Structure 1
């Protein structure tokens, strides 16, 4: 009897909450809805029972809607969607739309910039902006240079004439870069780097799956699933790698309330004894105490470069100034390592494929590169020399346009806002489709689907809406590492084309995507690398030698 009464009470309360919710969302009645849409499941049939590729295709098709604002229903959750640049600007720059919806909680880095709640993000971003200023980024150029050299030397050892899964090697290179600039470690010497890359891709996949699986949104239910158990194991190992730690051991710790928990409180982060985050922090403190990476240090590395101030040292300075908590440092270190390597590596995989698919574009980029960095001398990278690569930058931007690593982004209104003549209530979720926006014929012309770096020529760019191109998101909550990514990708591109001529057996229509937080291809880009003469830099000797001899 008691159970029946409690059940009836729960059902009644749920219905009341549902009715209140529907009334709250009544403002959206005037907005068109993606079809087909049904009661309770909403647009769920576009995704239920579908594989990853079908989910991506159906979502991209649904978001290719002609209206500036429209609705997409995930069960009973309405998403207010747009792929219109002017509407995206209004949403992404509005001070009351800086929060991210609960979907981002699935990534379990609550205190990192990527998915932190609004109040945490607002405080962090102000302090962390200084860690990505141009002076510091330019100090990383020698590291980018060495890692790109390592990449071409590794590629030169592969069997000649065989298709290479290039994204794997690009991700290894960008992970080496980000580990060196974040925690000062050498991923090149780490045999576990390949496993780490596989782990973070799987973690992103599991989090992405939850977004379109409404029944997995409730954390208490999710904890009983096999996906959760896999997630726990993967995160333990990934956190250990990112934090240069040792093997974790099970054992809970009391740290913070459930809504403010850190790594050690999350089921994937339980440790006893000396936790992995204590290891990385202590290592950094010891290094700072020895003035190895102090900004006023004149110490140089083996190649004669002044040691740059890596991110962990900058974060510790902020902690000493009581501007960051320890858990914020750990989550941001993990965020930078994962986001910095996975995104740039994936994008450079697409870039390599585009070079191979369009030999005339490849030749134009190559000619510009060898003019700025002649083959018979070591590449002397500087802010001025990199600025000479105007067409190469146009090429990279075109890769980012058609293959934006973050295809869709979401925001949540933290207060009522006025938008397009409507009063949108607090708690409304917005979805901005960057993938669809970058392919809008109204913005990019009738050949919007065609790969053409001239889209970013001064002539064509004139008058284009500033929010028509958002590879790093937009507004105050854009990607803090956008300049880091552009500098590192340019340097990789220089070394790649000075070393190899690229071709492929793939066709553009072979490139398909599956639903993920990042833009993942179902069939990995593969290219054939033909060594160029006098292409590979020999760092020890300081001159170029043939790749055949390296």
Structure 2
């Protein structure tokens, strides 16, 4: 009898605290109920939908299929936490340009450099770092990196002479520090000394950030672009023809020539459309934000599925799953919402190193394509992905090199 009473008392207590908890968040639940989404259970919310998914590769496939099935925006409850997903370009523009959505999602806290410019969740900390580092990525400073990029490309080509295959970049040997590493480290040291705004943890976190953003992400885009060209020989030869015409000798590629490599830039952009560096972008909405007919409650995790956005047939047409650099012809871009394509994020917290990335990619790819043909047996629909801090292609032995 006592045991039965204890069970009854426990159940009543749980119910009481649950209802009290919900009542304290009445506004949150009212606004969330107006956003469409899957059925959610009390306490666990929508977590039952992911039962059996354990590996990160499985999680990516599950999330991709889950989001493809749903009409966005949608909401889901991860226990007591509300997550809302948007993929319409106009909605994404409102979110990324709102001062209410500067704070990074909680998922970025799992990475060791969460005090760096890229990952820090604190808006004020980000503003301080961004303001002081903007000048390090000015056009005048970037122009001085051209010789370093050429030197790095020459070293890569020298190493490639003894290689027959290119796998995913996770199997590549460690590379030297990126060309701008010393410049940025010097800038951080001056900031720490002159302003006392940067402690040791922040200093080290930003060094990690720059090493990652300058090296890992760029090499990942480079590997993906070469793979796409290997899958499409006719496009590869068109890029080769452009490089040969614009830069008769690729011993040294000046910055002034890069703007003429129009088709190569289209190829790079299309590669990042199909295989973006990050598959998902996350923000925390700190105050209520109205997006079209919906109001995002304060404290909501807002998810922007870039992988899904970049393959949306309503935006990119029926051939959205195919590799087509013509998607970035000026006339097509003019008809498309600017936030339909966000490989470098967008809005207030866009990527500080976008121009740096394009500059390094163009120089290195132009030198490689001028000297080698790239072959593969893989097809686009055979690619397997694994989400990490960046989106990785996990197929092996992807590309073969042939001297021209």
Shift of 1:378: 4.4
Q: Quick one: structure 1 residues 103 and 378, their matched pair in 2 at CA, closer, same or farther if it must change by over 3 Å?
A: closer
Among 87, 94, 104, the alignment partner of 1:83 is: 87
The DSSP-based 3-state class of the residue aligned with 2:190 is helix
CA distance in 2 between counterparts of 1:34 and 1:422 reads 17
The DSSP-based 3-state class of the residue aligned with 2:76 is strand
Q: 1:6-45 CA deviation, whole Å, 9 max, x = no partner?
A: x99996767643553465232011111146x444433334
Shift of 1:177: 4.9
Q: 63-72 or 74-83, which moves further after superposition? A: 63-72
Among 10, 24, 29, the alignment partner of 2:28 is: 24
Aligned equivalent of 2:233 = 359
CA distance in 2 between counterparts of 1:455 and 1:348 reads 19
Shift of 1:477: 0.5
Among 46, 62, 67, the alignment partner of 1:58 is: 62
What is the TM-score of this pair, normalised by structure 2? Answer: 0.89
Equivalent residues in 2 for 1:482-497, closer than 5 Å: 482-497=354-369
CA distance in 2 between counterparts of 1:59 and 1:400 reads 19
Q: 1:459-501 CA deviation, whole Å, 9 max, x = no partner?
A: 2112210101100001111111111111111111011111211
Among 116, 123, 128, the alignment partner of 1:123 is: 128
Equivalent residues in 2 for 1:335-484, closer than 5 Å: 335-374=209-248, 377-484=249-356
1:321 aligns with 2:194: yes
Q: 84-93 or 124-133, which moves further after superposition? A: 124-133
CA distance in 2 between counterparts of 1:414 and 1:165 reads 42
Q: Is the 8 A contact 2:98 2:348 kept in 1?
A: no
Q: Is the 8 A contact 2:44 2:78 kept in 1?
A: yes
Q: Is the 8 A contact 1:501 1:530 kept in 2?
A: yes
CA distance in 1 between counterparts of 2:29 and 2:389 reads 26
Q: Quick one: structure 1 residues 121 and 347, their matched pair in 2 at CA, closer, same or farther if it must change by over 3 Å?
A: same
Q: 1:33-79 CA deviation, whole Å, 9 max, x = no partner?
A: 146x4444333344332233321122112222564421133233221
Q: Which runs of 5+ in 1 are unaligned?
A: 184-309, 533-550
CA distance in 2 between counterparts of 1:344 and 1:372 reads 23
The DSSP-based 3-state class of the residue aligned with 1:418 is strand
Q: Is the 8 A contact 2:177 2:211 kept in 1?
A: no
Q: Quick one: structure 1 residues 320 and 407, their matched pair in 2 at CA, closer, same or farther if it must change by over 3 Å?
A: same
Q: Is the 8 A contact 1:143 1:177 kept in 2?
A: no
Q: Is the 8 A contact 1:167 1:524 kept in 2?
A: no
What is the TM-score of this pair, normalised by structure 1? Answer: 0.67
Equivalent pairs counted in the alignment come to 392
Q: Quick one: structure 1 residues 427 and 505, their matched pair in 2 at CA, closer, same or farther if it must change by over 3 Å?
A: same
Shift of 1:400: 0.6
Shift of 1:323: 6.6
Q: Is the 8 A contact 2:371 2:403 kept in 1?
A: yes
Shift of 1:343: 1.1
CA distance in 1 between counterparts of 2:12 and 2:213 reads 45
Q: Which runs of 5+ in 2 are unaligned?
A: 1-5
1:101 aligns with 2:100: no
Aligned equivalent of 1:182 = 181
CA distance in 2 between counterparts of 1:483 and 1:65 reads 35
Equivalent residues in 2 for 1:263-282, closer than 5 Å: none
Shift of 1:423: 3.9
Q: Is the 8 A contact 2:384 2:395 kept in 1?
A: yes
Aligned equivalent of 1:154 = 159
CA distance in 2 between counterparts of 1:323 and 1:141 reads 33
Q: Quick one: structure 1 residues 320 and 170, their matched pair in 2 at CA, closer, same or farther if it must change by over 3 Å?
A: same
CA distance in 1 between counterparts of 2:48 and 2:33 reads 21
The DSSP-based 3-state class of the residue aligned with 2:335 is coil
The DSSP-based 3-state class of the residue aligned with 1:470 is coil
Q: Is the 8 A contact 2:168 2:394 kept in 1?
A: no
Among 321, 324, 330, the alignment partner of 2:204 is: 330
Aligned equivalent of 1:280 = none
Q: Is the 8 A contact 1:407 1:519 kept in 2?
A: yes
